[in-house]
Structures are given as C-alpha cells and as structure tokens.
C-alpha cells in the first residue's frame, strides 16, 4: 500500500497536468494580446522599416523586447496567435528548466509533476494583461543561467585549473545579459544567485570568488557591446540617451510614490496564488542560511537567491502592475517544491474549492450567508483567499471546441478576453470596421494618429508607423515635468484623422451616436473640460462602438493633458 500511494499521487498529477493543458492551451492561443504587446509589435514594425527606436516610438525600457518581437514577427508573421505561441513556448521552456532544477534538488518525480501542475494552472489561466510580457520572458534566460552555474560548480574537479571559474563564468554572464537587455532589474536576481553560490565557490580558494564575479561582468559586457553596436549603427544612441537621462529619473520617482500601494496589493495581485509568498519567503531565507555544500543544497540555495532577488526588484524598483509579479509566484512555487512542499497542487486545489463555492453560492443560502459575512468582515482577506471564476473562464469551456483552428476570429478573441470592455483593452472586430473606413480615405504616411492605447492595432492593420511617438500617451503624460514637451511634439505633426477610445471616460454614453459615418457633437455625458480639448473637440466622422474617428481641424486648440495614470 505504501508503495502504491506515491505512484497514485504521481499519476493523479500527470492526469491533472494533461487536463489543464488540454483545456487551457487552445483558448490561450486564441486570446487577444494586451496593449503592451501591441506597443512592442509596433516598435518592431518601425525597426523593420528602418525607423529609430525611442525617436519614433517612445519607450522607457531597454530595446530587448522590441528585438524579441522583431525576431518573432520576421519568422512567424504578425498574427496574435504566433506571438502567443511563442509566449507559451517561453513559459514551457521556463517550466522545463525549473523541473530540471527540482530534479537536481533531489525532489521526487511526483513533486516535480505537482510543481508543474501549479505553474500551468497559474500562468495559462491568467488574463491577457499578464501574458506576453517582458517579466515572464526574461525569466527563461535567468533560469538557464542558474542551470549553467549549477552544472559548472558541480562538475568542477577538486583541484581545478586556476582560471577555470573566470573562463567558464563568461558564458553565464552573457546569458544573464540577454535578460538584462529586456529589463535591467534582473541585476538583483543575479546578485541573489551569486551570493547563494558563494559557499560552493569558496571551496576553490578565496580568489575564486573574485574571478567568478569578474567573469559574470565580462560576459555581460560582451553582450552589452553587441547591443550597443546595433544602437550606434541605427542612430538610436541619442534618443535613447534622452529617455534614460531626462525621462527615466521621473519614472523612478513614480515607482517610489507607488511603493505603499505596491506593498498593500502584493498579497492580492493573484487571489490565492499570491499567498505562496507567505511561506516561500521564510523558506527561501532558511535555505540561504544553510551552509551544506552538497549539489542538491546548491540548487536549493540558488533557487532561493533567484526568488528573493526577484521579489526585491519587483517590490522596490518596478511599477504597481500585476504582470510584474507573475515570475515571483512561479519562483515561489519552485522554492517550496525544492523543499518538498507541494504548494502548486495545494494552491490549485484551493482555487478549485473556492471557485466551486462561488458557483454554488446562489443555490445554497448557508453558503451565501457564510461568504457574504466573510467578505463583509474581512474584505481584504476575502480578496486574497477566494478565487472567483470569471465570465472569461466559463467562456474558455464554451468556446473550447472552436479553438482547435489556426484561424483567429475577432469575436472569439473578445469572448475569451478576461478584460473585455475594460479600458484600455482592444476590441478587434470594432477596430476592423474603423480600419475599413480609414482605408477608403486614401491615407498617406503621417495622416493617422491613434490617441488611446486600445486603438494602436490600427497602425499594424493599416501598415502605418506611429505619427506621434508617445503611443501610450497616458503613461507619457504621467511625467508631469515633460508635459510641455509632449504638447510641443504634438503641435509639430499634421495628421488628418485621430482615432479615440471613448472608454477612456467610463461615464460616457457611447451609444449616444449611431454607428457608421456620422456627424454631430459629443454626447452630453462627456466630461465638460474635455469637450473643448484635443482630440475630443475634433469633428466626428465615423463611430464603431467605443472607437470614434475624428477629422482634424487646425489649430488644435487646447490639448487634453490629463493622465489617467497619475491625475
């Protein structure tokens, strides 16, 4: 009986893993992509046409993600499905590397399977806001670098050549630098992993620690030089310098102002799943304190160092955005699994239990009363511990048979969206009507301005580069000390049409005007200050649901410089 039970547990894990993949992957591939992915797609399109990043498409980050999008698009095309397929492949690669590291922690195959169940049950079923994002993509090179470090330290002989650590660390540093080009915040996980491996390196003499550190730096510099060659040759250096020296200090200040909110929301970013940190943090600290230098303990310590370094940068130096914390949850599950704690299966089971209670709540008064009392007396705890099934989750099951195709359907996309109708999401079938109207206007380069984030797919659909480099205008306007510059750059362009998203103002009655080619004024529900400001003050020529095409008349008048991100 004792030998059968572990095998049954393992097979149950395999069965659940297969079921999660079967149910989740087809809808995952058909879901829409978020506006951040559209931004980097547009940046990649601009690069492909010979444009200059930062000058033509504003970005506060290093150019690693536009490079990645450009590589994907050149090879696989410009459909949302191809990008989501790559996102799934990146996640799958990260999962396989984490499973391999757990194997090196001497964790049983059952423990590895249940950890994978947790990772898949978490990531594949997230909203589009948290998928195809930079933070999840850079975890793969980070894990590969950890794997490389483990193999290098374990395979070293007892009497290695004096320069072996320095020579072999260069490759690891280059792998870390790939992630650095996506986001420089990876420097803190690098430090965490390096500190975690010091007890092992110390065995090879005091000088080995210094040589190991210098090898990481040299490998990073090699990759940095390759990137800088591209930056210089494409004329990107000067606009990049402007962004990093004149804009990004304000961005860092922005992150400091959000710090209290970031701490308060940390435990509720992902209901149930974020609770993993409550146990993973102390377990990681205890693991780092262990001084045994066995190979399995080295893997445990490095996973702990990677996790704590990741949490540090996400809590201190990043914005209060949900997707930032996705890798932290994945690594938290890995840290607990490395100590034989099946957090992935436990959290997934709790999600299923609470979701089931939410589904039966309307039919059983005792369940209804208990959950209402819980949410009333402990609202924040309720939010953190109850996984309520959303409309989109039910639609995954409803549209699952239709997702076994390589053809993407705009209507199916919005039905699978977790954020349908929420600003600044996009509605593809409504934008397609706008694109059809604009195609009849004989647009020339520079004639189209897409004001709100959800309208940006029109640039790619119509094969235009952005007329106004501040695509995420709400984010750009959050730099209050730069609003005058944004205003001046807007006055220097001469587009003929501007497309707006009326969901930017949630109280506006978007049905006040008929769909199609229309004239007329803004609805009475429109905010009074905005009515006399660009772009809302421009004559209306076409409406498709929430999206409106205005024909621009000059002078523009006052400009709506209110940022929904900070005002």
246-262 confidence digits (pLDDT tens): 998 888 888 888 888 88
Per residue in 314-351, pLDDT (tens digit) is 999 998 899 999 999 999 999 999 999 999 999 999 99
Helices (H) and strands (E) in the chain, counts: 25, 7
Task: Give the per-residue pLDDT at 565.
Answer: 47
Asked if residue 418 belongs to a domain, the reply is no
- Do 432 and 344 lie in one domain? The reply is no
Structure tokens at 438: 């604009």
Round to whole Å and give the CA distance between 187 and 243.
20
CB contact at 8 A, 539 and 551: yes
Asked if residue 564 belongs to a domain, the reply is no
Burial of 260 (0-12, 13-18, 19+ CB in 10 A): exposed
Q: How confident is residue 392, by pLDDT bands cut at 50, 70 and 90? A: low
Q: How confident is residue 390, by pLDDT bands cut at 50, 70 and 90? A: low
- Do 78 and 227 lie in one domain? The reply is yes
For the residues 92-100, what does the mean pLDDT come to?
98
Asked if residue 567 belongs to a domain, the reply is no
- Do 432 and 345 lie in one domain? The reply is no
Per residue in 160-213, pLDDT (tens digit) is 555 555 667 899 999 999 999 999 999 999 999 999 999 988 887 778 888 889
CA angle 16, 22, 24 (to 5 degrees): 95
- Do 11 and 122 lie in one domain? The reply is yes
Round to whole Å and give the CA distance between 552 and 555.
9
Q: Which of 324, 349, 374 is a domain's end point? A: 349
β-pair type (540-544, 547-551): antiparallel
Round to whole Å and give the CA distance between 303 and 290.
13
pTM of the predicted model, to two decimals?
A: 0.94
For the chain, state the CA radius of gyration: 25
Domain count, the chain: 2
Asked if residue 342 belongs to a domain, the reply is yes
The region, left, alpha or beta by phi > 0 then psi within -120 to 50, assigned to residue 557 is left
CB contact at 8 A, 94 and 144: no
pLDDT greater than 60 at residue 564: no
Pick the range with the lowest mean pLDDT from 12-26, 347-361, 401-415, 453-467: 401-415
CB contact at 8 A, 321 and 93: no
- Do 169 and 52 lie in one domain? The reply is yes
Burial of 174 (0-12, 13-18, 19+ CB in 10 A): buried
Asked if residue 411 belongs to a domain, the reply is no
Q: Sign of the C-alpha dihedral, residues 303, 308, 312, 318? A: positive
CB contact at 8 A, 131 and 84: yes
Q: Which of 349, 365, 390 is a domain's end point? A: 349
Three-state secondary structure string covering 64-117: HHHHHHHHHHHHHCCCHHHHHHHHHHHHHHHHHHHHHHHHHCCCCHHHHHHHHH
- Do 39 and 145 lie in one domain? The reply is yes
SS3 content of the chain, % helix, strand, coil (to 5): 70, 5, 30
- Do 329 and 435 lie in one domain? The reply is no
Burial of 552 (0-12, 13-18, 19+ CB in 10 A): middle
Range of the domain at 322: 3-349
Long-range interactions of 480-486: CB distance < 8 A, separation 24+: 480/250, 480/566, 481/250, 482/246, 482/247, 482/250, 483/561, 486/561
- Do 120 and 268 lie in one domain? The reply is yes
- Do 73 and 191 lie in one domain? The reply is yes
Q: How confident is residue 529, by pLDDT bands cut at 50, 70 and 90? A: confident
Q: Which of 300, 318, 349 is a domain's end point? A: 349
Q: How confident is residue 566, by pLDDT bands cut at 50, 70 and 90? A: very low
Task: Give the per-residue pLDDT at 511.
Answer: 84
- Do 345 and 440 lie in one domain? The reply is no
β-pair type (448-450, 497-501): parallel
Q: Round to the nearest angstrom and report the end-to-end CA distance of the chain.
A: 64
Asked if residue 495 belongs to a domain, the reply is yes
CB contact at 8 A, 531 and 537: yes
Per residue in 4-18, pLDDT (tens digit) is 888 899 999 999 999
Per residue in 286-315, pLDDT (tens digit) is 999 987 889 999 999 999 999 999 999 999
Nearest to 399 by CA among 8, 19, 28: 28
Q: How confident is residue 556, by pLDDT bands cut at 50, 70 and 90? A: confident
In this structure, what DSSP letter does residue 539 have? Answer: P
H helix or E strand, kind and range, residue 154: helix 134-155
Asked if residue 415 belongs to a domain, the reply is no
Asked if residue 34 belongs to a domain, the reply is yes
H helix or E strand, kind and range, residue 448: strand 448-450
The region, left, alpha or beta by phi > 0 then psi within -120 to 50, assigned to residue 498 is beta
Determine the 3-state secondary structure of 182 from DSSP.
Answer: helix
């Amino acid at each position: 009986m004792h030998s059968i039970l572990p095998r049954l547990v393992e097979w149950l894990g395999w069965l659940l893993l297969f079921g999660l993949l079967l149910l989740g992957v087809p809808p995952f591939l058909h879901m829409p992509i978020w506006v951040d992915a559209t931004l980097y797609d547009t940046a990649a399109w601009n690069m492909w046409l010979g444009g200059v990043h930062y000058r033509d498409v504003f970005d506060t980050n290093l150019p690693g993600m536009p490079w990645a999008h450009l590589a994907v698009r050149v090879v696989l095309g410009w459909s949302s499905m191809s990008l989501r397929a790559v996102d799934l492949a990146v996640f799958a690669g990260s999962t396989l590397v984490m499973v391999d590291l757990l194997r090196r922690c001497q964790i049983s195959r059952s423990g590895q399977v249940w950890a994978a169940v947790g990772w898949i049950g978490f990531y594949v079923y997230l909203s589009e806001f948290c998928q195809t994002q930079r933070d999840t993509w850079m975890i793969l090179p980070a894990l590969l670098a950890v794997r490389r470090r483990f193999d290098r330290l374990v395979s070293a002989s007892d009497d290695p050549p004096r320069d072996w650590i320095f020579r072999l660390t260069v490759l690891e540093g280059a792998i870390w630098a790939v992630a650095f080009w996506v986001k420089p915040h990876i420097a803190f996980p690098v430090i965490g992993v390096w500190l975690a491996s010091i007890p092992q390196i110390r065995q090879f003499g005091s000088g080995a620690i210094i040589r190991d550190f210098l090898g990481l730096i040299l490998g990073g510099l090699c990759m940095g030089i390759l990137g800088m060659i591209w930056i210089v040759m494409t004329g990107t250096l000067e606009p990049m310098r402007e962004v990093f020296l004149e804009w990004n200090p304000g961005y860092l200040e922005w992150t400091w102002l959000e710090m209290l909110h970031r701490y308060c929301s940390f435990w509720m970013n992902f209901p149930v799943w974020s609770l993993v940190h409550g146990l993973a943090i102390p377990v990681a600290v205890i693991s780092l304190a262990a001084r045994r230098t066995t190979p399995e303990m080295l893997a445990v310590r490095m996973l702990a160092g990677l996790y704590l370094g990741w949490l540090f940068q996400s809590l201190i130096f990043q914005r209060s955005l949900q997707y930032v914390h996705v890798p932290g949850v994945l690594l938290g599950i890995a840290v607990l699994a490395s100590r034989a704690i099946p957090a992935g299966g436990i959290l997934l089971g709790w999600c299923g239990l609470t979701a089931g209670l939410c589904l039966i709540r309307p039919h059983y008064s005792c369940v209804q009363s208990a959950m209402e009392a819980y949410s009333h007396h402990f609202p924040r705890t309720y939010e953190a511990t109850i996984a309520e099934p959303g409309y989109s989750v039910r639609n995954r099951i409803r549209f699952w048979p239709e997702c076994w195709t390589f053809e993407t359907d705009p209507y199916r996309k919005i039905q699978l969206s977790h954020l349908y109708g929420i600003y600044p999401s996009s509605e593809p079938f409504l934008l397609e009507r706008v694109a059809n109207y604009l195609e009849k206007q004989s647009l020339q380069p520079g004639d189209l301005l897409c004001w709100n984030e959800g309208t940006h797919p029109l640039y790619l659909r119509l094969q235009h580069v952005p007329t106004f480099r501040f695509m995420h205008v709400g984010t750009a306007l959050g730099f209050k000390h730069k609003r005058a510059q944004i205003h001046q750059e807007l006055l220097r362009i001469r587009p003929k049409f501007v497309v707006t998203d009326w969901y930017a103002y949630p109280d506006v009655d978007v049905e006040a005007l008929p769909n199609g080619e229309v004239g007329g004024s803004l609805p009475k529900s429109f905010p009074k200050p905005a009515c006399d400001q660009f772009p809302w003050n421009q004559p209306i020529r076409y409406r498709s649901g929430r999206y409106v095409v205005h024909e621009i008349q000059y002078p523009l008048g006052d400009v709506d410089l209110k940022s929904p991100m900070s005002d």
